[in-house]
Amino acid sequence: MSETNPLSNVVVVLHRPKDVVNIAGVIRVMMNMGLSRLRLVKPDEFDMRRIDGVAHRSRGIVEGTEFYQDLPAAVSDALYVVGTSGRARSAERNTARPRAIAPAVIERARQGLVAIVFGREDKGLPTAALDLCHQVVGIPTDPDFHSLNLAQACLVVCYELLLAVGDPEQKEPPASGKHCRETPPATQEDLEQMYGALESGLGRIDFFEPREAAAVMRTFRTLLGRAEPSLREAKLVEAIGHRIGNYLDRLEQAPDNDVGFAADHQNQGEP
Ligand code: SAH
């Protein structure tokens, strides 16, 4: 992996873009900055001729563009998902400037697919989309004008990625120590399975009462997303959720409430 250009592992994902001129602008930016992979989630329109008018010689990217029905599918194979938002920062999310995260993004792109997700022109990324992201990026702006044009926001982020590839000073591995791991990193799909199992297991023990499940899960997403679990680690957390469910199932089924604690303990080494 180390010989390939990490930018070839960076996928730009546009969530429900409205205007084909902005898609074309993003493609042009991608060409300028050395990126080549574009994914579109339900664009309002996609007219190749109009794209070529704005982004000349863009056929390679246009023809390779992949279309998705929803964002989870578009990022499911990514090891790391970065969302972008022009909205005022929310305290409960990992929000950072593009320059701060670029070296870490490039480092992950040396290992596998990284998705950079941009929102719709009039609405930005919905909360559920930001929930899928390991990291949210905000480009600093004048406080009265947070919102950049889609392609211009894409330019700032991709420019920082290009610089991070070129600067050997910035190729230091991130502090998480993930290079020592023995198992591959979890993909977004693996993480969604983990969150799903955790939410359903915790729900069954009324863990969320009286809190709001979505808010608690968002905090878990921020916490676990920051840890960037390996596949094995994600499966371990997922197993907590399954195990709670299995335990309660047995409890409900056992006539005398003998739920087989001993058997439960014997399996603890998994996964
Ligand atoms: N009114 C929308 C603006 C969307 S602009 C909103 O409330 O978010 C379209 C997209 O451009 C955004 O979803 C985001 O992906 C990107 N973008 C715009 N301004 C940005 C900024 N300051 N920082 C990071 N991304 C930005």
Q: What is the CATH number of domain 6-170?
A: 3.40.1280.10
pLDDT digits (tens, 9 = 90+) for 220-241: 998 998 888 999 999 999 999 9
| Residue ranges of the chain that CATH labels 1.10.8 | 188-267
What pLDDT does residue 262 have?
44
From the list 109, 121, 53, the residue with the least C-alpha distance to 84 is 121
Q: Is 150 in the pocket of ligand 1 (CB under 6 A)?
A: yes
- 248 pLDDT higher than 80: yes
Q: 112-135, pLDDT tens digit by residue? A: 999 999 999 999 999 999 999 999
Report which residue type is found at 100.
Answer: A
Q: From 97, 127, 148, 157, give the residue whose CB has the most ligand 1 atoms within 8 Å, as the site to mutate.
A: 148
Query: Does the beta carbon of 171 lie inside 6 Å of ligand 1?
Result: no
pLDDT of residue 269: 41
82-107 mean pLDDT: 85
State residue 181's pLDDT score: 55
Q: Where in the chain is the domain with CATH 3.40.1280.10?
A: 6-170
- What would the two tokens of residue 78 be? 């990514």
CATH T-level topology, domain 188-267: Helicase, Ruva Protein; domain 3 (1.10.8)
In terms of average pLDDT, the best of 44-48, 126-130, 154-158 is: 154-158
pLDDT of residue 247: 93
22 vs 169, higher pLDDT: 22
Residues 6+ apart with CB under 8 A from 171: 103, 106, 107
Instruction: Decide whether any atom of ligand 1 lies within 6 Å of the 86 Cβ.
Output: yes
**Mutual orientation of helices 188-204 and 231-253 as an angle, nearest 10°?**
30
More confident residue, 48 or 88: 48
Nearest Cα neighbor of 138 from 202, 201, 93 is 93
Nearest CA to ligand 1 atom 15: 118
